[in-house]
Structure formats: structure tokens, C-alpha cells
Chain A
Amino acid sequence: MEKFEKLTGIAAPLPLINVDTDMIIPKQFLKTIKRSGLGVNLFDEMRYDDDGKEIPDFVLNKPQYRETEILVAGDNFGCGSSREHAPWAIKDFGIRCVIAPSFADIFFNNCFKNGILPIALPQDQIDVLMKDAEKGSNARMTVDLENQTVTTSDGEVFSFEVEQFKKHCLLEGLDDIGLTMEKAAAIDTFEAQAVSARPWV
């Protein structure tokens, strides 16, 4: 997995609540058997009209947001389906960090498996970041995972919380399966106990 340490980049404002996974990547793009190539269809129905032409008003279509690396959004981002195609599409577009007041559980977990940092901050701080993001490509936001801070283009600093294990895995780019495999003995022991305690399973 690609590491996430510190990122300075363009932040795009998406001031919508309940951005669901069908919005992030509609179902017709779930038919792939690969993880890559989904960025072009990120937010497909908001981004393209019925003829497949770009809708100029949509934030990621604006010239100043084409190189977006950070997304600032409303409450309950990523609600809906478990499709990991959502973070795959976000990452493939080039976005490495999503900042919102809250996230849906499965999407939140899926981000960490793909080198994307989801940051939850209180609404009043999101309001400041949203305003900063509206400045476009002249304003660069900085996200520092090690120090757990987001810094606006004006230098205002907000601290965020992150689970230590998830932080460690992102900073080091660690593969979960490899880490769990190191606990194979504990799994073997548990499984042997479970078979005698609940043989019907």
C-alpha cells in the first residue's frame, strides 16, 4: 500500500451531506475485475451529462480543481454500499485525503486499506476548511498525518484524531494481511478452542 505521510495540495469543496457510494462511483463501473482505472468515473453522474460531456459547474471539472488531492465534504460521507470501488476511484483520480464532519463506517475503513486518509473534524472547523477550499488552486492545504494536523492556506491549524494502528499502517504503507499472518499461532489456538466449544460451526 502507498504510504501517507504529509500532503500539501489543492482542496476541493463539496458541500453536500450524505454523499453516498452510488454518487462516488455508480454501479455500472463495478463490473470491473480490476482495482485501477476508476478515477475517470469518480462522481460520474454529477460530473458528466447524459451524453458523457463534462458538466462545467461540477467542482472537479473546474480548471482550478483538476489537480485536487484533498476533498472537503459534508456529514456522513461515503454512506451506502461497501464497494471499495469508491476509495479506488477517489485514489485513482488523485485524491489522497477526504475531510468531513463524519464518515460512514465501511467507507471509512476502506480508505485506510488504500492509502487514503479520512479525517473527521467538527462542523465549525469544516466550515473554515470549506471556505479555504473555495479559493481554488491558489490555496494549498496541508495534511500532516504524523502530527495529526490540517493547515489551511492561511496557516490556521486544526488537530485531528486517528486510531494509532491505522495511523501506523498508513505512515508505513503496511499490508494488513501480512501483519495478521504474523499472528497465525494465535489464530490456530483460537480455532482449535472454537472447534471444541462450538463444533457445529
Chain B
Amino acid sequence: MIAVLGLLLGVGAGLLLDISVPLGLQPYLPIAIVAALDALFGAANAALMGVFDDRVFVVSFVSNVLVAGLIVYLGDQLGVGSQLSTGVVVVLGIRIFSNAAAIRRRLLRA
């Protein structure tokens, strides 16, 4: 519940404060968001399985975002930034899908 509240708070702040993404962060932010979504879905799945832990969530969230950003940064340095970020998005997307499938199975038993 507190997570939903925090999410709404962030969305509200983003809507109210008219902030554009800093130039240096522009390649990383979309990947970071997808990584964070992956952590969020994993946490939701863990909560439904009854193994949710605050510390694990925070650490996985932060590390997910950092690793995703690092991979994109590395790709940019190697000159394959766009390909690598596509790859990261694909991998994270697959993880999000499998988590969502697990959540669906648990909630709807289907």
C-alpha cells in the first residue's frame, strides 16, 4: 500500500514539476525505469509468495538500476550503445513478463 502511495506521489511530483531530463541522463533513464519496473514486479511476486523483504527490495531495485545504467554506459563507450540498450530492454522485458505470469498464476490460479 505504501508502495502505491509512493508511486502516486512520484507521478504527482513529476506532473507538477516541469522538469526535463538532463542531457547526460537521457540514454540511461529509460533503461533505468525498465530495470526498476523489473524490480517492482519481482517484489510484487515475492510479496504474493510471502517472501517479501524490505531490504532485498531496496537493494535489488538500486542494483538493477545501477547495472542497467552501467551496461548502457559500457555500450556507449564501445560504440554499441543502442544495440546493448535494446538487449537490456529485451532481457528486462522477459523478466517482467515471467514475473507478471507468476503473479497472475498466484492471483487468478490460471
Partners in one complex: no
Point out residues on B near A: beta carbons under 8 Å.
Answer: none
